[in-house]
Chains A and B, each alone.
Chain A
Amino acid sequence: MRVVVQSERFDAGALLDGFGAGAGAVVTFTGLVRGDGGLVALDIEHYPGMTERALTSHAQAAMDRFGLADVLIVHRHGHLPVGEPIMMVATAARHRRAAFDAADFLMDWLKSRAPFWKREIGRGGPGAWVAARAEDETALGRWG
């Protein structure tokens, strides 16, 4: 199990080399900065200390709940231009269903419980803080 919080860009391919070896199924999800409405970048702030603790405890919860062989969570902070990867999760399990479900579970949790905050940067400079979405909260509720 591994949790990484960093500002630097990450190489998903390198991180996945050897990940889940022997497990049977690996699922990955990568979130990118989407260039909506003239967006130039996102500035992502986080709560150092709490972020690592919360991600680690939730990675462990996913391991236990879905019987995973391994979990990887990488999440960036700082200034991220459009097109750059923001974060990734990878799950390894014996069979694909547990790996898919665990990745979904981790993403629903990250969206509304991981202490990150995003600010939109447009061509004219800093814009609005990204608001939490009710549908993300609803999605998290699916898991009980």
Chain B
Amino acid sequence: MTLDVLYFAWLRERIGAPRERIETAAATVAELVAELVRRDDRHAAALSDLDAVRVAVDQQLAGLDTPLAGAREIAFFPPMTGG
């Protein structure tokens, strides 16, 4: 499937791009993370500490075990600091 992967704040800076379109067969967020980490050093550095990363699947907060079937947009970002 084709996914748009978005990155925000310091994750965007470490990856070096705000978004990328990828082809993946990952069944869950965790499998997608493992694929991305294997891509290159930038992805590995950005996603090295998953305790410091939050994820949204189709703009809803999600977890590492969230399935990706039917998903179109995955976003990775630091803990949020609104207000």
**Number of residue pairs A-B, CB distance < 8 angstroms:** 63
Measured CB to CB, the closest approach of chain A to B13, in angstroms, equals 9
Measured CB to CB, the closest approach of chain B to A16, in angstroms, equals 19
Whether the Cβ atoms of B83 and A31 lie closer than 8 Å is yes
Whether the Cβ atoms of A118 and B81 lie closer than 8 Å is yes
30 of the cross-chain contacts (CB-CB < 8 Å) are A31-B83, A47-B8, A47-B59, A47-B77, A50-B56, A54-B59, A75-B82, A110-B82, A111-B81, A111-B82, A111-B83, A112-B79, A112-B80, A112-B81, A113-B80, A113-B82, A114-B82, A114-B83, A115-B82, A116-B80, A116-B81, A117-B8, A117-B78, A117-B80, A119-B9, A129-B10, A130-B81, A131-B81, A132-B78, A132-B79
State the A residues within 8 Å of B (CB): 31, 45, 47, 49-50, 53-54, 75, 86-87, 107, 110-119, 129-132
